[in-house]
Amino acid sequence: MRQILRLVLSLTIICAIATALLAYVHEATRLPRERIEKKLQSLALQEVLPTFETSEKHSFLANKSPQVKAFRASLKGKPVGIAIQGGTMKGFSGEIKLMAGFDNHGKIVRIKVLDHKETPGIGTKVTDRIRKRTLVEFLSGKVWEGIVPNPFLDQFEGIDENSCSSAKIGDRGINAISGATITSAAVLDALYKICSTYKLYNEGKR
């Protein structure tokens, strides 16, 4: 009996110390982590939207889940588009955060995966834009500018919100990446959510 108590007690103490440490580190690093997230967010906005000068957080969906965010961008006082950020938990190992930019005609400009925990080399074929260079290019020091193509993410450029919310893998020209079916489906799921949010935004405008 005394021995069992000793085991339980020591396990409890170790768990308590671990929890306290985690809570402390989580709180201590919260501000810098938020700052970096903001920075990455503004970089992502520049990538998914047409050229713009100012962007502001748009709060037409203030009562929706905190995962979903919208940003309105404008150039010389005129709106040029809206970017919507959404997420899904259906990724291969947890959450995938996605941002899509819509121009004034309601067409998708570009989509970008903001954050994910997919398997490197498999799921990242879907989510990341990785530059492929040849040895000759590397040795000659050739520098590439612009956005790296990604065969999966690029499929959604130029489609409107209606065909986006009815798009299925294997249908309407949406091809999944082989070996990364779950990640492909999860990105599509996040895009559905973004498109339905965009529809809400459009209805609110009318």
Partner 1 sequence: MTLFKEFSKGIIKENPVLVLLLGMCPVLGVTTNGVNGLGMGVATTFVLVCSNIVISFLKRIIPRKVRIPCYIIIIATFVTVVQLLMEAYLPDLNKSLGLFIPLIVVNCIVLGRAEAFASKNSIPDSIADGLGMGAGFTLALAALGVTREFLAHGMIFDLKVITVWQGAPFSLMTFAPGAFIVLGVFIAIIRKLQMRKAIREGRIYTPPKNLDCASCRVCDIDKIE
Applying CB under 8 A, which residues contact partner 1? Answer: 6-7, 10-11, 14-15, 18, 21-22, 25-26, 29, 32-33, 36, 40, 93-94, 116-122, 124, 130, 132-136, 138, 179
Residues 6 or more apart whose Cβ sits within 8 Å of residue 156: 100, 108, 111, 164, 167, 191
Q: Which residue lies nearer to partner 1 by CB, 18 or 169?
A: 18
The one-letter code for the residue type at 117 is: K
What is the β-pairing status of strands 69-75 and 78-91?
antiparallel
Distance of closest approach, residue 7 Cβ to partner 1, in angstroms = 5
Q: Which residue lies nearer to partner 1 by CB, 94 or 158?
A: 94
The pair of structure tokens assigned to 117 is 């925990």
Q: Which residue lies nearer to partner 1 by CB, 10 or 104?
A: 10
Q: Cα separation of 6 and 144, whole Å? A: 63
Distance of closest approach, residue 18 Cβ to partner 1, in angstroms = 4
* Residue for token pair 């091809």: 175
Distance of closest approach, residue 51 Cβ to partner 1, in angstroms = 25
